[in-house]
Every structure is written in structure tokens, then in C-alpha cells.
Structure 1
Amino acid sequence: MTTEESILNKIQILITNHFETPEEAFSFFDADSSGKLKKSEIVKLLKQAEINGFIRGLVGSKLIEGYDKSDDEEIDWQEFKAAVDKIKTA
């Protein structure tokens, strides 16, 4: 399993074990209710998914880089859903 697959797998486990739906997970981590996850909120998600603290910031940046299709340096619901859908098919 690659590092990316491992990280996505941990995120999937977090969502599955602690939330009824991906929408509920998104809302929980969208602390300011902006409709978008900024890097600090993504880092919080990664912390809860038990991603090593040393790499959380880097992983957060890479997730934004990989899934932020609107280039606003945040992850909106559609971008989050695309990431979750990728996890389900991996």
C-alpha cells in the first residue's frame, strides 16, 4: 500500500467509524461553517485519522493540491466528495 493509499484508508476508517455519512464528517470538520475546509481544518481531520503529526501539514497541503479544483486553497463539499469517492474505489 502506498503512502497515499494508507492515508486515504485512515481517513475512510475515521469517516466510517465516527460519522453516519461523509456529509456529517465534512460538517464536523468545517469548524467555521464556511462550506469549505481550510488547511487547519484538514489538519484537524488528519489528526483524528491518526496521521503522524510530523507529516500532517505536508499531507494537508498535498490533499489541497490534489483535490482543490477551484484553486482557492480550500476543499469544498464537491471536492471532499470526490476524495471520498476515490477512497471507496481504491
Structure 2
Amino acid sequence: MTTEESILNKIQILITNHFETPQKAFEFFDTDSDGKLTKGEIVQLLKDAEISGFLRGIVSTKLIEGYDKNGDDLIDWEEFKAAIAKIKP
């Protein structure tokens, strides 16, 4: 399992165990309710998913780089769904 797969699996476990739906998870971590996850909000999601502190900053940057399709340096719901879709059930 690659590091990316491991991280996505931890995110999936967090979402499955603590939220009814991925959208509820997105809404929970979107603390300012603007419909987008900032790097700080993503770092909190990673912390709750038990991603090590050393990796959180790097991973949040890579998630934004990999899934931010409109170039605003944020992750909106559609981009979040695309990231979640990569997770193996």
C-alpha cells in the first residue's frame, strides 16, 4: 500500500466511523461554512484521521495540488467527492 493509499484509507475510516455521509464530513470540517476547505481545515481533517503531525502539512498541500481543479487553492465539495471516489471501498 502506498503512502497515498494509506492516507486515503485513514480518511475513509474517519468518514465511515464518525459521519453519516461524506458530505456531512465535508460540512463538519468546513468550519467557516463557505463551501470550501482551506489548508487549515484539511490539516484538521488529517489530524482527526490520525495522520502524523509531520505529514499533515505536506499531505494537505499535496491534496490541494492533486484535487484543486479550479486553481483557487481550496477544496470544494465536488473536488472533495473526487478525492473520496479514489478511496477503495
TM-score (norm 1): 0.97
Report the Cα offset of residue 44 of structure 1.
0.1
Q: Does 1:23 align with 2:37?
A: no
Percent of residue pairs bearing the same amino acid type: 75
Superposition deviation, residue 55 in structure 1: 1.1
TM-score by length of 2: 0.98
Q: Which amino acid aligns with 2:24?
A: E
Q: Residue 85 of structure 1 aligns to which amino acid in structure 2?
A: A
| C-alpha distance in structure 1 between counterparts of 2:48 and 2:60, whole Å | 13
Q: Deviations over 1:16-56 (max 9, x none)?
A: 00000001000000000010000000000000000000110
Partners in 2 of 1:46 and 1:65 — Cα distance? 16
Aligned residues: 89
What secondary structure, in the 3-state scheme, does the structure 2 residue paired with 1:55 have? helix
CA offset at residue 88 of structure 1? 3.5
Q: How does 1:13-52 map to 2 (within 5 A)?
A: 13-52=13-52
Moved over 4 A (4+): none
* Distance across 2 between alignment mates of 1:58 and 1:27: 23
Where do 5+ consecutive residues of structure 2 fail to align? none
| C-alpha separation in 2, matches of 1:12 and 1:2 | 15
CA distance in 1 between counterparts of 2:88 and 2:19 reads 15
